[in-house]
Amino acid sequence: MGELGLKVEIDSHSGFCFGVIEAIKRVEFYLNRGEKIYCLGQIVHNEEEVRRLEAKGMITISYEEFKQLKNAKVLFRAHGEPPESYDIAHKNNIDLVDASCPIVTKLQERVRRAYLNGEKVYIYGKPGHPEVVGLLGQTEHKAVVFQNMEELDIEKMPREITLFSQTTKSKVKYNEIVKKLQELGIKVKVNNTICREVANRQPEVREFCKHYNKVVFVAGKKSSNGKVLYSVCKNENPNAFFVSSIDEINKEWFNKNDTVGICGATSTPQWLMQKVKSYIESL
């Protein structure tokens, strides 16, 4: 124990969700056999975990690189992919390892059905996020993607819409958007497509943060789920700090004998939270 005598605990509910665990298991299976495997885009929105897997031999590629690749093994990550990606894989003789999360796959099917049914599809999500790109692809890129009400031109909107959500968005905000749209006279066909595992993390994190003097939230800077959960943390405990690695931890955050809680996103590996815990204990 370091000179500050900090008592540190990790939130038992934090860490990889089911979909991410499965994707990483799949890629490690091939890496452990010494096989060459490419991953289309970042396997998880956590820089430290990506670095760990790349050190083991995983090769992360962009969409442009994927289009040129032939006769190779490629992993589709948990976020899911649009139909175009499957077309390219087929055309280029790609040995596809499809780790799309089953929850995302079901959502894609629902979005596709709504679109083919002639419904006006709106998606509450982050433009350009890999999961949202996959969803947009189900509608021939005709669905409207938005992150907040200000982005919508209410006057020009259809009077009846079918609304979906990116699986990692805040359930509270999604419900607020539904309510506001209905108040503005728009008929909303509501689809509850926020992942239950992700939604449950919010009350769990809120409860966890109450019990510590300080909270260190560990997540990748690109993690949408991380941003949502960190704001939940910060609202519950103003002494919450966001870090992506131990290099970002500041000793001055802590007072002698503080209790410190560590939690993370659905894209945060357990080993990284453990590393943060050990570092804080040494202060």
Distance of CA 22 to the CA centre of its chain: 14
Residue of 131, 155, 176, 281 marked catalytic: 131
CB 177 within 8 A of CB 157: no
> CA-CA distance, 213 to 260, in Å (whole number)?
6
CB 189 within 8 A of CB 119: yes
Query: In whole angstroms, how large is the CA radius of gyration of the chain?
Result: 21
Report residue 96: phi and psi, to 5°. Answer: -90, 130
Q: Catalytic site residue 131? A: yes
**Which of these, 269, 213, 281, lies nearest to 241 by C-alpha position?**
213
CB 228 within 8 A of CB 202: yes
- Pairing, β 144-146 against β 187-190: unpaired
The residues annotated with a catalytic role in the active site are: 131
